Chains A and B, each alone.
Chain A
Amino acid sequence: MGVRLATATTVLALLLISSPTSAAWERLKHFVQPGAVIEEETEDRLVLSFADSRIVIRMVLTTEPQDDSDIYGDFEVRRGGNPYRIWVATHQLWDDPERPRQKWGRLFRSQFLRAVRAPRQPPPPTMAR
């Protein structure tokens, strides 16, 4: 009984783990406000925009840091645990007086705004393997 339970749990967990790269955008789109428009979506890039009578905002999200990234994806590791996806803002977005947080924040739900990380100082470390 117990062994069957553990086996079933293992199999179920392994089935749930199948995460294609596009899963990153599927998860992120869960937090995009209904009024935002997806201008472009590729495996490693998502461009969102929002426009009303007062403001126009355009944001570039990428799975890895790129020159034009406003927010990029990374993985955080806690020792002894599994790496998990995080989202990090760039200085290009964070320090842009034309796009304060209360403006670009209209594209996302509050849960994402709380989770997105401030730009890293110094730039993100790369771990040679």
Chain B
Amino acid sequence: MPSFRPLIFIVVLATFVSSTRFANAQTDLRVATSVMRITSADISYSAVEDIDFFRTNVAIDLGWSWGTLGLIYQNANKAEGVEEGRVENGLMLTGGYDYLFSHSLRLEGFARVGVSNGNDESQPLYATDTDVRVNLVAFSSEGTGFIRDAAVFPSGYVGAVVNKHGRVQALAGGGVWWHQWSAYVTAFHAFNGVSDPMNAGGDFDRRFAFLKNRGITTSFGYDVGPVRFGVQRNFGLLNSGNDLAFTFEWKHLLGGGLWE
């Protein structure tokens, strides 16, 4: 399997550098942390397996104009007693880019590249991921109707995620932003990968990173000034975990501003 790392790194760097062509650019610093717990997973069409799996991460990125470049430190662990208690730590390089086609359509891209981890290759906890995500987002910038005199801004999106193992997931979702609140629903569906991780055959070594999975993710957010609180719940439908994540994000504007 060829490594996607150099290619992804070049794409991330190129998009970031290209974003500096704007004369008046917003520069900001974002720090975010999230805690996620997976309590069960839907495996192989029928079995629901109880697991106890935690992921905690801290992300920091610098935004310049429409691009971002950053790092994610992630700690993954399984509790003692469920299986052997294990911990993995990993570091990912991240890059993102937004391209605005119009006042109702934009393309967003985001890439993560695992640059170090302490994975136990025989049974990794995946403290790092290497993947590229692209979303085409249609939205209303004028708002659609009012709730209590505050405009409602709906959006819908379709996209794809490709990870370093070549698994391709399609995404589709939609949601609304109102006042300081947001709510979104996203469905994901993998087109390829291991259907039965217990019988992964030749894909045994990468079975959990190459799952043919499917699920629904719901998320809710609340923005107050530079701070954002979020809750995300994932419902696995096939080869996917049922997890709950809490996020906290703080953004500091260093200069400039973004207007169209």
Contact = CB atoms under 8 A, between A and B. Distances in A.
B174 interface: yes
B86 interface: no
B257 interface: yes
Given A5-B185, A79-B28, A125 B259 contact: yes
Contacts, number: 143
A80 interface: yes
Given A6-B186, A14-B138, 20 more contacts: A3-B237, A6-B174, A6-B187, A9-B173, A9-B174, A10-B172, A14-B156, A17-B138, A17-B144, A17-B155, A19-B103, A27-B151, A74-B259, A75-B103, A77-B258, A80-B96, A82-B177, A84-B143, A85-B142, A129-B100
Interface in B93-109: 96, 98, 100, 103-104, 106, 108
Nearest to B64: A79
7 contacts: A3-B237, A6-B173, A23-B142, A27-B151, A77-B258, A79-B28, A125-B257
Contacts of B9: none
B143 A27 contact: yes
Nearest to A23: B142
Given A16-B140, A76-B259, A127-B24, A6 B216 contact: yes
Contact of A77 (B146, B157, B216, B260): B260
A9 B175 contact: yes
A33 interface: no
B189 interface: yes
Contact of A10 (B158, B216, B251): B158
Interface string B192-226: 00000000000000000000001110000000000
Contacts of A19: 103-104, 140-142, 144
Contact of A79 (B21, B63, B150): B63
Interface size class of A (residues with CB under 8 A): 35 or more
Interface on chain A toward B: helix, strand, loop, or mixed SS?
mixed
Contacts of B104: 17, 19
Interface of B: 21-24, 26, 28, 30, 63, 66, 68, 96, 98, 100, 103-104, 106, 108, 137-144, 146, 149-151, 153-158, 172-177, 185-187, 189, 214-216, 235, 237, 251, 256-260
B142 A3 contact: no
A7 interface: yes
A85 B23 CA distance: 22
Contacts of A10: 156-158, 172-174
A84 B153 contact: yes
B142 A2 contact: no
Interface of A: 2-3, 5-7, 9-14, 16-19, 23-24, 27, 30, 74-85, 109, 111, 124-129
B100 A83 contact: yes
B12 to A, nearest CB: 16
B173 to A, nearest CB: 6
B259 A12 contact: no
A18 B144 CA distance: 9
Contacts of B149: 30, 109, 111
Given A79-B98, A127-B24, A17 B140 contact: yes
Contacts of A23: 140, 142-143
Most central of A7, A9, A24, A30 by chain B CB within 10 Å: A9
A81 B103 CA distance: 12
Contact of A76 (B139, B173, B258): B258
